[in-house]
Structure 1
Amino acid sequence: MKLTEAQNKTLDNSEKEKQKLENKTIALWIAALRFTDNTTMHGLRYVFRSDSNIMRRLIWFCFILGGMSYCIYIMCRSVNDYFEYPTVMRSKTKYEPSSVFPAVIICSYNIYQKSSLTPKEERLLESMFNNYGSKTFDKEINVTDYEYLDGMEFMKRTSFKTVPDWCLFHSRECRSEIMGTAVTDMGICIRIGANASSTLEQTAIGVTKLRMRPSVSFYPTRKGLGEGLDVGLEQNESEWTVGPYMYYSGFRVSIDPADSHITTLRHRGFSLLPGDITDAVLSRKETTLLPPPYGQCGEVKLANYDRYTRRGCLNECEANYTIKQCGCRYYYHPGNEKTCNYAQVFVCLQEIMKLYENQSKDIFSFSECNCPQECFYIEYKVSVTNTKRSPQYTSRFKFVGGLDLSKGTALRLYYPNLEYTVVTEEAVYSFEKLMCDIGGAGGLFLGCSFATLFEFCDFSFDIFWIWLFRKMQQRQRKNSISVNS
């Protein structure tokens, strides 16, 4: 059969296209050999060298395969260790020439002052607290008669007026600027250290004064006993009344940072016993924690405080529970909601005790509050020692500064030294260490580095374009044959 000129031309073109495709295949193989010869991954070129015998190439292939497998295992284990986010706590002791004093809150266990109560109000307190442990109440009380008793106003009027018989700081009389009051669940209490804008300092040499922030000036003072805070207190037993802490005698003391949101003392602090001298030795610890994913610290938005603290968050959580159960908040809770009057407190207290008695799921628990620990906070640890006064001294000096030594108590709070502890949570396995471990495994078993990854990416890019070009050539050839035929 004789072919036409057009058919001959088509066949020639097909042969040319076929030759081009074969050339591309050869180019692909050449590119692969060039890559294996020049890559920084050691040993790979020995697998593809044509001048090596098959046994040698097989040994090199097994060696590279084993190294690659173990390298991948090490890398996977390193990545797994990194995503477990392990941490370690590091502690060190620092010395400073001055040490800021904490806020000291002192409350009387006898919350209500007898002389400030009417007989009707005494009857209410007896009904509320006489049978406190048995969860029973006086059924004859008409609670509506006490709706006029606003919680805050009642507490301001009747709370025990604790006034120190003396207050010395560095053996000098406490200034009025550092003396204040604090509203707590134990009534209106003494607060020494004033508020968040003023602090006391105990320093290395000299005298002490109140330091107002943000000023950094101060007069130094010495450390040790006699250089801290010395307070004398006496509880007037004739003013004793029924209350939630009536089975205790003396005072409750809480030691906290000056800017803490402290309103509840029932689970905090230590006691001052009548007739005792209490030495409280201070130590300060500053803790810095890591936020997620390494740690659990953080903060949430608080409705009643500008700055987040866990204590402030717990205060709000307890207040929200009280508002939910009682329709009002207790006088020491933060917020703008209506303060409970004592008729509401009386009724609500019974309802809450019924929940405890029935072990209801609605019982309040601080553990259910979403209040993470701050990422930075200061703690004051107190080592307390109680000492009885000498009978001979007491008989000779019955009163000191107006204080009856047989009934009064004294608190001496001081730093034994001007050191403090800094605790920092640190990540054990950082991202930089992960990269070093992965790079070390790749370098040890395969002799490759991070640059080798780019070599493989570059080679893959070349292979992709050669393959794509071949596919396009095949499609064009098929289209040209179908058109000509």
Structure 2
Amino acid sequence: MSDKQTQRNMEQVTRQGTGLAIITESPSEMAGSGRKTPRTEQETEERECTSLKEHIAKFGDGTTFHGVRFVTDYKLHFLRRLVWVCIVGGMTGYLLYGISISIMTYYQRPVSSVVKINYVREIPFPAVTFCNYNQWKKSQVPPDFLDAVRSLNPANKSPVDVEYLKSHNVMNLRDRLINDTHQIEDMLLECTFKAANCSADNFTRIFTDFGLCYSFNDDPEDVYYIHQSGSHNALFMKINVEQQEYIFGENNAAGIKLLVHPQGQRPLVKELGIAVSPGYETLVGVQIKQVLNLKEPYESNCTDGDLRFSNNYTVPLCQYEHRIKNIQERCSCRDMRHPGDKDEDECPLSKYYTCLLPAEANFAAKDKSYDCQVPCNLTIYDTRVSFAYYPGQHHLDELTRMTNRTESDIRKNVLDVRIYFEELSFQKIQEIPSYEFTSLQSSIGGYMGLLIGASLITMFEFLDFILVTTATYLMKNREVKRLKGNRVRGKEDRHEGSTTNTEERPYFIQK
């Protein structure tokens, strides 16, 4: 045994009495004893890099993403791999572009309109409302009131004496108009419906934007039905407009204003009605359209909103109610033609000139628009009007004998009107989504299959690869940091317990 070995053994025996043994071994002895030498930091990083490449290559060989295996195969030539990188990158970019276009199209909520003609065995007959162009009968009102009404005629260009209007102010105009207007019993000379006689009892009195009018078949609980089309299965009315009773009012024409509309819907005769003139036979052919719109988030953004004065919601009725509200707020009273509660004050005659007419003109001039959404379910009665000269000469002679009227009187006052269905059918126009979520799925799947030959499972493969690789890297990185920390602490311990022999590395073992 050499002197150095003997000295080390003596030092070991000497320190055993303190309960702590110091064993020193040189690096060569550590290698000779079979103990593993810690890797250097560079070796660890190189090993990690090699492991990551192997992991990527293994993923590329097994993924269903076409072309990736040519990119991750490190055995291939660099140029070939570069070409495949360009191909895979280009296809992936085009895929992302196609997916973004599909998603934007989906959120634009495009719709298509489906038009279908539905033939039925019976069809509900519409409500028919008509109004005489003249509201106040000349024989029913005093002369001073006639002058006051004449001053309110929009065609009147002469100055209006406001003091005169105030001195002849009339309250409760609605009640007075009911008694002083043209009565249905006087105007309706003849009436038939489906070849059966009807009378004034089949009509109800109603106030509209045109004034006092009369409606046929307007009860939603008791609707008449038609089983055959054509002008013989129609509502026929022979009406005397009583032109000799006309005075200067809001209208300068003679005849009736007629509107075909659904039951329960307030008739806007002034805005939407058709004019029917005396001296003609007027044929009104009717066709039904049913329009079904889509709610939000689609562009039509329809509503089933409620209205105050109508059971059915339409855009014109919504705007009409806004106009009523605007005028009432400005004038603090209600036009006799407008609907409202009984406790709301009606405007006197003088206010029509000083407030009501200017407020309505101002409302129209400013073209005020309100957010009136389209209805989700809308029934429209389209009308096609045709005329014939009435009465013909052969019939005129008979009428003059039967009614004791002159030819001039008949041509000025009498008109015939027929309202009928052209066909027992209705046209249904329905909005349907043209690009739903299933369409979006199909578009994305088509792009993926066409460009990269992948499916939704491929996305989970990438997700699995990313998660596993990231977790492995983090664990290895933590292990490397731990080894570095141990190495630093070992160096500090060796520095504190170092001996004169710098080639030895002490290890402390608790006895």
Query: Per the shorter chain, which TM-score range?
Result: 0.7 to 0.9
Task: Decide which moves more: 441-450 or 457-466.
Answer: 457-466
Task: Decide which moves more: 76-85 or 452-461.
Answer: 76-85
Q: For residue 199 of structure 1, report the CA deviation from its aligned partner.
A: 1.7
3-state SS of 2:184 partner: coil
Q: For residue 442 of structure 1, report the CA deviation from its aligned partner.
A: 1.3
Residue identity matched to 1:375: C
Instruction: Work out whether residues 316 and 333 of structure 1, in 8 Å CA contact, stay in contact via their aligned partners in 2.
Output: no
Match of 1:359 in 2: none
Q: For residue 161 of structure 1, report the CA deviation from its aligned partner.
A: 1.7
Match of 2:326 in 1: 321
1:196 aligns with 2:197: no
3-state SS of 2:260 partner: strand
Q: Distance in 1 between matches of 2:189 and 2:147?
A: 32
Match of 2:397 in 1: 395
Q: For residue 234 of structure 1, report the CA deviation from its aligned partner.
A: 0.4
3-state SS of 2:432 partner: strand
Q: Which residue of 344, 365, 368 corresponds with 2:351?
A: 344
Q: Which structure 2 residues correspond to residues 188-227 of structure 1 after superposition, within 5 A?
A: 188-203=212-227, 222-227=228-233
Task: Give the TM-score, by structure 2 length.
Answer: 0.79
Q: Which structure 2 residues correspond to residues 13-52 of structure 1 after superposition, within 5 A?
A: 15=38, 27-52=51-76
Q: How many residues align?
A: 454
Match of 2:272 in 1: 268
Residue identity matched to 1:287: V
Percent identity, please.
22
Task: Give the TM-score, by structure 1 length.
Answer: 0.83
Match of 1:76 in 2: 100
Instruction: Work out whether residues 92 and 421 of structure 1, in 8 Å CA contact, stay in contact via their aligned partners in 2.
Output: yes
1:379 aligns with 2:380: yes
Q: For residue 478 of structure 1, report the CA deviation from its aligned partner.
A: 5.0
Residues 176-197 of structure 1: CA deviation (Å, up to 9, x unaligned): 7752122112221110112333
Match of 1:333 in 2: 338
Residue identity matched to 1:338: D
Residue identity matched to 2:264: D
Q: For residue 341 of structure 1, report the CA deviation from its aligned partner.
A: 2.3
Match of 2:180 in 1: 158
Q: For residue 101 of structure 1, report the CA deviation from its aligned partner.
A: 1.1
Task: Decide which moves more: 417-426 or 25-34.
Answer: 25-34
Q: Which residue of 281, 285, 288 corresponds with 2:289?
A: 285
Match of 2:299 in 1: 295
Q: For residue 153 of structure 1, report the CA deviation from its aligned partner.
A: 2.2
Match of 2:141 in 1: 117
Q: Which residue of 92, 108, 132 corresponds with 1:108?
A: 132
Q: Which residue of 438, 443, 447 corresponds with 1:437?
A: 443
Q: Which residue of 386, 394, 408 corresponds with 2:414?
A: 408
3-state SS of 1:286 partner: strand
Q: For residue 50 of structure 1, report the CA deviation from its aligned partner.
A: 3.4
Match of 2:15 in 1: none
Instruction: Work out whether residues 14 and 477 of structure 1, in 8 Å CA contact, stay in contact via their aligned partners in 2.
Output: no
Residues 376-402 of structure 1: CA deviation (Å, up to 9, x unaligned): 211111111111221121102337799
Q: For residue 83 of structure 1, report the CA deviation from its aligned partner.
A: 3.5
Q: Distance in 1 between matches of 2:152 and 2:401?
A: 37
Q: Which residue of 459, 463, 472 corresponds with 1:466?
A: 472
Residue segments in structure 2 that go unaligned for 5+ positions in a row: 1-7, 9-21, 28-34, 493-511
Q: Distance in 2 between matches of 1:146 and 1:412?
A: 42
Q: Distance in 2 between matches of 1:411 and 1:363?
A: 32
Residue identity matched to 2:437: F
Residue identity matched to 1:371: C
**Bigger radius of gyration, 1 or 2?**
2
Residues 385-428 of structure 1: CA deviation (Å, up to 9, x unaligned): 11122112110233779998543111111112212211122333
Q: Distance in 1 between matches of 2:308 and 2:183?
A: 31
Residue identity matched to 1:339: E
3-state SS of 1:42 partner: coil
Task: Decide which moves more: 47-56 or 272-281.
Answer: 47-56
Q: Distance in 2 between matches of 1:422 and 1:442?
A: 39
3-state SS of 2:152 partner: helix
Residue identity matched to 1:390: G
Q: Distance in 2 between matches of 1:425 and 1:6?
A: 90
Instruction: Work out whether residues 264 and 310 of structure 2, in 8 Å CA contact, stay in contact via their aligned partners in 1.
Output: no
Task: Decide which moves more: 249-258 or 53-62.
Answer: 53-62
Residue identity matched to 2:137: Q
Taking only aligned residues, the RMSD between alpha carbons, in angstroms, comes to: 3.3
Residue segments in structure 1 that go unaligned for 5+ positions in a row: 204-221, 357-361
Instruction: Work out whether residues 265 and 311 of structure 2, in 8 Å CA contact, stay in contact via their aligned partners in 1.
Output: no
Instruction: Work out whether residues 115 and 429 of structure 2, in 8 Å CA contact, stay in contact via their aligned partners in 1.
Output: yes
Residue identity matched to 1:199: V
3-state SS of 1:271 partner: strand
Change (3 A) 1:176 1:32: farther
Q: Distance in 2 between matches of 1:423 and 1:409?
A: 35
